[in-house]
Structure 1
Amino acid sequence: MPYDPPPDLAALSLADVADLVAARRLPPVAEWSPEAEGDSEIRIAADGRWYHQGGEIRRPAMVRAFASLLTCDADGQHWLVTPTQRLTIEVEDAAFMGIDMKQEKDALAFRLNTDELLIAGPDHPIVAEGDPDTPALYIGVRNGTRARLDRSTYSQLAEIAIDNGDLTVQSMGLRFALVPA
């Protein structure tokens, strides 16, 4: 079955984004507890590109499939989880990249480099790390994974925060600081 990417984020209403998020069916990796462990020989570079045994994975459908199986434990180790095994994945910064965003009323919607859509809020918090002079912005994705906002998306979010006058943004009733604590 061919993959139909979601429409451009700017063309979607918040209700459209919420419907697309609700319609996406993901494997229940949080419910799986395989005993077998190994190394996937996969690396996710800081720019969001995926590599296997040193060669770039160029098939977006394969990256999307692997991304749906990702978890990250409390120690920061990323895993590719199936019902029968879990394999380590080397992640240089974040498993995903936030590549676009849209503000509608009191909500912020994001598109990831895997074409996944999410809305910032309790399940997808925005976190500022680094130092005040060179912060990095992340948004929680699922199962302990997160997405780093690319420069363009970071700039879009910063414009909203500057307009707010306090370097914070609000989404789904929560306020997120864009300056590291």
Structure 2
Amino acid sequence: MSDTAKPHDLLGQIPASKGPAPVHLWNPPFCGDIDMRIARDGTWYYLGTPIGRKPMVKLFSSIIRRDGEDYFLVTPVEKVGIKVDDAPFVAVTLEVEGEGEQQVLRFTTQVDEVVEAGPEHPLRFEFDPVTEEPRPYLNVRGNLDALIHRNVFYQLVELALAAQHPDEQALGVWSQGRYFSIGACAAAF
């Protein structure tokens, strides 16, 4: 795709379907990078301007793929590089069903994708080595993650239980029968 190509050029190449496209099955030629970026807060930008049409953002989010550390929008006929500041999705709400080991944590992303944490969609918690600020993530699909919004992270900390191992002084949460350790730093919250 040339620098003069527009995002709507990609739209015409996306097969109509509900949910994410099977981008993992497509192997089109790389057509270059476009000036599209997903900010840390989940806002999509084109040529430095926020994309204000949520249906368009949702459509683009259905064709994103990560290969190694690089992100691409992929259609059956072309693949273009985009920039992602942190993660392509942001988990903006949390619904809790049940409690203890039977608890289910259901997240909704900024593009209205609903994901239940569990064995297929694990949670992971990283901490900035300099600031020690938590960076919690949820696997959305494949190797694409959602950064968990700060307010949602605080909800998780409120739900946290002590680790099941006596050697581990950490907190964590249950979802779909799996325990996800938040880490010892979370005890300070």
Give TM class, smaller chain. 0.7 to 0.9
What is the rounded CA distance, in whole Å, between the counterparts of 2:18 and 2:175 in structure 1? 21
What is the rounded CA distance, in whole Å, between the counterparts of 1:48 and 1:25 in structure 2? 18
**TM-score for both structures, normalised by structure 1:** 0.80
Match in the other structure for 2:111: 114
**Structure 1, unpaired ranges of 5+:** 1-22
Counterpart residue identity of residue 123, structure 1: E
What is the rounded CA distance, in whole Å, between the counterparts of 1:42 and 1:180 in structure 2? 37
* Distance of aligned partners of 1:24 and 1:125 in 2 relative to their CA distance in 1, 3 Å threshold: farther
**TM-score for both structures, normalised by structure 2:** 0.77
1:30 aligns with 2:29: no
Match in the other structure for 2:44: 50
1:124 to partner: Cα distance:
1.1
Match in the other structure for 1:157: 156
Q: Which has the larger radius of gyration?
A: 2
Residue of 87, 91, 95 corresponding to 1:94: 87
**Runs (4+) of structure 1 moved beyond 6 Å?**
none
Aligned residues: 156
1:125 aligns with 2:118: no
- Matched position secondary structure for 2:65: strand
1:106-143 alpha-carbon deviations (Å, 9 max, x no partner): 21000100011010012211011124842210001113
1:64-103 to structure 2, matched below 5 A, reads 64-74=58-68, 76-103=69-96
* Distance of aligned partners of 1:134 and 1:25 in 2 relative to their CA distance in 1, 3 Å threshold: closer
Question: What RMSD, in angstroms, separates the aligned Cα atoms of the two structures?
Answer: 1.9
* Equivalent residues of 1:41, 1:52 under 8 A apart: yes
What is the rounded CA distance, in whole Å, between the counterparts of 1:38 and 1:141 in structure 2? 26
Indicate the structure whose relative CO is greater, using CA pairs within 8 Å and at least 6 residues apart.
1
* Equivalent residues of 2:19, 2:62 under 8 A apart: no
Match in the other structure for 2:182: 178
What is the rounded CA distance, in whole Å, between the counterparts of 1:61 and 1:97 in structure 2? 16
Counterpart residue identity of residue 175, structure 1: Y
**Structure 2, unpaired ranges of 5+:** 1-16, 164-170
* Distance of aligned partners of 1:90 and 1:159 in 2 relative to their CA distance in 1, 3 Å threshold: same
Instruction: Please identify, of 46-55 and 123-132, the stretch whose mean Cα deviation from structure 2 is larger.
Output: 123-132
The percentage of counterpart residues that share the same residue type is: 37
